[in-house]
Structure 1
Amino acid sequence: MVIFHLLMNIIHIIDLCVLGGLMIERQHLQIMREIERQGSLTKAADALFLTQSALSHSVKKLEDSLGINLWQKKGRQIQMTQAGIALLKSAEKLLPQFEKIEDNLKLMAQGEKGILKIGMECHPCYQWLLKVVKPYLAKYPDVDVDVKQKFKFGGVGALYNQEIDLLVTPDPIQTKGLIFIPVFEYEQSLVVATDHPLAHKRFITPEDLIEQTLITYPVEPSRLDIFNLFLSVSNCLPKQHKTVEATDIMLQMVEANRAVACLPKWLVKQYQKEMNIKAIKLGKSGLQKTLYLGCRAEAQPIYLEDFLQLAKRTKG
């Protein structure tokens, strides 16, 4: 976006310069700036790797097309006219913008600058994502990270339509042109307070939740593992189903025996250090899941590839 605005500013000024067949080239701006910096034609020519005659000829040609002098000589000294001063001011304004655009484009070409847009279809995975993003931002100071959670046509649609660059999801949908890379395996568990009636059980059955208040993230039940992979198998439903956006609030309600919740075991372990909660296996074999990162199958910038590698080394 910054590059776009810089380009538009430069195009606008260049358009003004082109009126009437006049074309002020970048070299003219560089010459004026170097003359001001160096104080003489000879030194300015050396700084620009030009001969003095080539420098003078370039400016003379511009002066002829303008019908106005940009400088005048007083002995060995160069004194700019009002027109020369006006062009110098434009040079001091425009040249840094040209240089910034070039630097940005070079970094983009090298895969070291850009915006990494990440889509989240795994609410509790924000805690994991923070562990990946912190060292990533340190490595790529010229790459911004933007995280999105809501999509008009779902996460896969957003990825396919280039609304996002990466999709964090436990439920990949195989789509032509997209690839899903497994990051790590984890276990979904039921979270209860340590003094909850279910806390003594080795594993939870669907029937155990019939008289419970279940709290989840605000996601359609059909997309929640606790419903579609556990409760629906036995045609069971909790006594009450509530939703909460924030993980901290969810677990505070669990600790207060207001409800039970379903969260990744790795996340529960992090909160167990400060809260009186317990993770219990769902079913005898547990409910195993895999977290994936989805991206487009086309060639990706280096900064995106590096994010994938860092993510695969970062467990929940």
Structure 2
Amino acid sequence: MKLDIRHWQMLKALSEVGHVAQAAEILGISQSALSHRIAEAERRLGGKLFEKEGRRLKLTPAGKLLTQVTLQTLPALARAEADFEQTADRESQVVRLGVASYSSYYWIPEFIKYVNQKASHLKLRLVASATQNPVSSLQHGSVDIVIAPGYLATPGIINTPLFMDELVLVTPYNHSLSHQAFINPQDLSEIQYYTYSQTVLPGFEYERFIRPSGVIPKQVEVVEMTDAIIELISAGLGVSILSKWAVSAALQSHRISSTQVGQQGLDLAWSALTRESEINNSPSKQIAKLLAAWYKQLN
């Protein structure tokens, strides 16, 4: 091989930020040292990896191909190291866990207690960044298991069913809409509506409830954190359609109210996502089985 691991790490850092100064900071080296490293890699390969585009560095077509391999290889190496450490030290195996779509962790303390009883060698570490990009977080190795709503049919990803949930209208406590048996799309037409994502997610409220009606809320604001949406709603500033499971702690404390969405309601299935490539009894797959068993006993 012509390149060393430090060159591959350089490609990854530069592909993520595009600026030499920021990439150098990520790598823990000076800008001058990074510039020398780029020149060294290009000299070894016999071609250009980057072109200047203003203050940024733009990958050449050949550089893009090499970087794509880098983004797949480095996470795989990191996972291999982590798997080795876990295999070598059976006393403590860390599993990095995230929750997709909703930043909701009220249930974590009770589940950790359950894990300690059933598999004390497994330790959970929360990864908040997995909320927005659950599949890529799994594929790139920054997280080991993700609890996700809906069904994500993705090659290389296994879905372990956990529990059934529903999407509900979340309003300030004792709001007039909370006294209805269910809401219609027209109920949202003139009210401040909060959503946590600009992306239309298959199987969620926009696709199944709002778009088919042709009635779009006039006042829509994107707030990317579920906790922040709950605070805004409890203060009387608007409404949203969210997972009932994700907001159950706020419902129990009477900070907010919920109402069924549509006459038939909107069900929502939750699953634990893990990598298919892992061995059958890997720590993350053990956690997936424990999650399924825990939610089964709760119901």
TM-score, normalisation: structure 1:
0.57
Percentage identity across paired residues of the two chains = 25
Q: CA deviation at 1:231?
A: 0.8
Whole-Å separation in 2 of the counterparts to 1:153 and 1:246: 10
> Partner amino acid for 2:262?
G
| Offset, 1:300 | 4.3
Give the deviation of 1:126 after TM superposition.
2.4
Matches within 5 A, 1:199-214: 199-214=178-193
Distance 2:172 2:163 in 1: 27
Residue type at the aligned position of 1:304: S
From 260, 266, 272, the equivalent of 2:245 is: 266
Q: Is the 8 A contact 1:140 1:303 kept in 2?
A: no
Shift in Å at residue 261 of structure 1? 1.9
Task: Tell me how far 1:161 sits from its aligned partner.
Answer: 3.5
Mind listing any 5+ residue stretches in structure 2 that lack a counterpart? 1-82
What is the CA deviation profile of residues 185-233 of structure 1, one whole-angstrom value per residue up to 9, with x for unaligned ones?
Answer: 001100112442322211111111011111233x224138232222112
Q: 1:273 to 1:125 in 2, by over 3 A?
A: closer
Distance 2:174 2:138 in 1: 43
CA contact (8 A) 2:114 2:294 kept: no
Larger-Rg structure: 1
Report the CA distance between 1:295 and its aligned residue: 1.1
Aligned pairs, number: 212
Mapping of residues 1-316 of structure 1, within 5 Å: 108-109=87-88, 112-137=91-116, 143-150=122-129, 154-217=133-196, 219-223=197-201, 225-297=204-276, 298-315=278-295
Q: Structure 2 length as normaliser, TM-score?
A: 0.60
Q: CA deviation at 1:119?
A: 3.3
CA 228–147 in structure 1, closer or farther in 2 if over 3 Å, else same: farther
**Alignment RMSD (CA, Å):** 3.2
Cα distance in structure 2, aligned partners of 1:246 and 1:203: 25
* 2:254 counterpart SS class: coil
Structure-1 separation of matches of 2:98 and 2:105: 11
The CA distance in 1 between the partners of 2:134 and 2:85, in whole Å, is: 31
Contact 1:152–1:158 (Cα < 8 Å) also in 2: no
Secondary structure of the 1:126 match is: coil
Name whichever structure is richer in helix by fraction. Answer: 1
Deviates more, 1:179-188 or 1:133-142: 133-142
Report how far residue 108 of structure 1 moved: 2.1
Which residue type is aligned with residue 177 of structure 1? Answer: G
Superposed displacement of residue 123, structure 1: 1.1
Partner Cα distance (1:161, 1:267) in 2: 26
Inter-partner Cα distance in structure 2 for 1:229 and 1:273? 27
